[in-house]
Amino acid sequence: MTLTVAAPTHVVAIPAAFWGHLRPMLNLLLNLLKIHPNLHITVFITPSISSHMLVDLYAFQNKTDSGSGRLLVITCGEKPPEDTFVTPDFTEEVDNYAKILPAFVKGVFEGKADLGHGRVNKFAHVVPSKIIFDMCQTFFPAELRKIAKVLHMPIPPLFIFTPFSLASLYQLFLEGGDGRYGRILKAVERDVSAGIDIAEAYTKRPWEFNGSVITPPDLPSKFDYEWWPLMITQDTPAQATMGFIPTHSAFHDRDVVGVVVPFIEELEPKATSTLEERLGKSIYAVGPQLPEEMWNGTVSQVAPDADGQKVIRFLDDLKVKHGSRSVAYVSFGSLFFPFTRPELVTYLLQSLQESSTPFMFAHPSGLRPPPTGLIEPFEGLEDVCLVKFAPQWQVLNHDATAFFVTLLSEVPVVTMPFGGDQPEIASLLTDILHVGIDLEQCKTFNDPAFRTLHDGTEVIGTEKAIKEEMKEAWVRMKASDGSDMRLRVKEVKSRLRDSLANGRAGRDMVKLGRVD
């Protein structure tokens, strides 16, 4: 699908520093470039994600007709670009990004070629027509209003991007009136008015549940605490919580005209219509933003960095040694990890080893490393590969990969969701689409009295119970259940692709890149 428009257009993109947010946004932007031949995109990124993002971009630029010449990536920092690719303190980086970004964005809207600090705007001849910003950049709408006031210009159309599912957006921002995040914000405001320190309020308020039953659109009923099943183990700093909960205000911001979601209406019709009606904003359900190679199964097995090359060699060797569909891929992303119960990860890796299941474990990135002593016992073991960062597209398309043990995914999975959007996505995959298995015995709730799930399952939570459930899941994934799930994944994949080719996802991709 390729469109021809009369004049060049320019979109500014403001991603977040979390890989689970950045990767789908990056692929969205790359796919928009392919669909809209006169579209130009400027992306402002933080230093810590530059190196990983550039790896994906270089692979994209090597393709013909990629449109990469119309993509400008600017690292948002005061140091020269070539000196900023080392991960600093994460909190400090976020603060610096929020301070430096407005001046760069202002320069782009002024049509400046020199943005300062060695950054060059090569699209100075095209004034931006819209902005797509990540939900976590909650400061940005207010900053944009300041820029518009100074430049005496109307506020351009502002779109909020979220990797969250449609049902999870309902839960967090609308359920019960204000959604979970809205209720937390009000509770924090009451605490602060009563003289309680704001950091203390944000530390305690997210974990308050009463055992009520909640039924999100398109998903089954569960107790309220089940929709936050491992977040208490996250040991989340108050600053991080203070960064996520205010996304409620960003979604309800008066100048945000649309919400961009990498899910499809066809799988979550009730959630989509409810969000549009109650948020009063257009929902752009653009579908999973994947490289074309992921859709047609032709992902190159050539990795550009040392970790990636190590992973591909491991998978190649294990395919020869154990055959196809023999390796488990374990990943917790760049942020979520059970820091107060690290033994859960130990049990997981031990259960794989004890069931003779080879595995590749991509552990947390430099944003927050795993606890000391957790990884070391598995280093150097046969049929085990440990890396900080894995080339996900290559791993998921490798013949040796049997299943994915993760927070969430778009392939046959064993899910271990924490909070945020993860439980809703896990429920969609396991309860509705039946393409995965949800681990229940490792669930850890804020109140020890919460031991029963809505389906009647008792969470025993001992090492024995957890390992038994995990080992059963590994057996199922390598047996007929796993084969059946792969068939269902193909069916879901067909529905997703049809939405992109002939349905709402494709239409929304066209609308998103167009100037109305």
The full DSSP string for 138-158 is TTHHHHHHHHHHHHT-PPPPE
Give CATH for domain 297-492. Answer: 3.40.50.2000
Strands 114-116, 71-75: pairing is unpaired
Look at residue 421 and tell me whether its pLDDT is greater than 70.
yes
Could you identify the residue written with the tokens 């933080």?
46
Say which residue the tokens 């100037």 belong to: 515
Whether 23 has a pLDDT exceeding 90, the answer reads no
What distance in Å separates the CA atoms of residue 502 and residue 315, rounded to the nearest whole number?
A: 36
Q: Could you give the CA distance from residue 220 to residue 158 in angstroms, rounded to a whole number?
A: 33
Crossing angle of the two packed helices 47-61 and 19-35, in degrees rounded to 10: 40
User: Is the pLDDT higher at 476 or at 368?
Assistant: 476
**Residue located via tokens 């209406």:** 265
Helix, strand, coil shares of the chain as percentages rounded to 5?
45, 15, 40
| Vertex 104: Cα angle to 100 and 105 (nearest 5) | 115
Instruction: Find out whether 205 and 184 touch, Cβ atoms under 8 Å.
Output: yes
CATH 3.40.50.2000: which residues of the chain?
A: 9-166+251-291+495-512, 297-492
Instruction: Look at the domain 9-166+251-291+495-512 and name its fold.
Output: Rossmann fold (3.40.50)
Overall average pLDDT of the 200-217 stretch: 91
Q: Are 45 and 73 in contact (CB under 8 A)?
A: yes
* pLDDT recorded at residue 53: 63
Question: Tokens in use for 184?
Answer: 């937390």
For 281, counting Cβ atoms within 10 Å of its Cβ (0-12 exposed, 13-18 middle, 19+ buried), the class is middle
Lowest mean pLDDT among 108-122, 170-184, 236-250: 236-250
76-126 pLDDT, tens digit each: 877 665 544 454 566 677 778 888 999 999 999 999 999 988 899 999 999
Is 50 within 8 Å of 75 (Cβ atoms)?
Answer: yes
Rg (CA), the chain: 23
Structure tokens at 444: 């850890």
Check if the beta carbon of residue 219 is closer than 8 Å to that of residue 438: no
Is residue 67's pLDDT more than 90?
no
Task: Tell whether the model's pLDDT for residue 405 goes beyond 80.
Answer: no
Mean pLDDT of 368-379: 86
Cβ(342)–Cβ(370) under 8 Å?
Answer: yes
Instruction: Compute the distance between CA of residue 314 and CA of residue 308 in angstroms, rounded to an integer.
Output: 10
pTM: 0.89
Instruction: Provide the token pair at 386.
Output: 């440990």
State the amino acid at position 325 in one-letter form: R
Q: What are the residue ranges of helices labelled H in 211-284?
A: 238-244, 247-251, 269-279
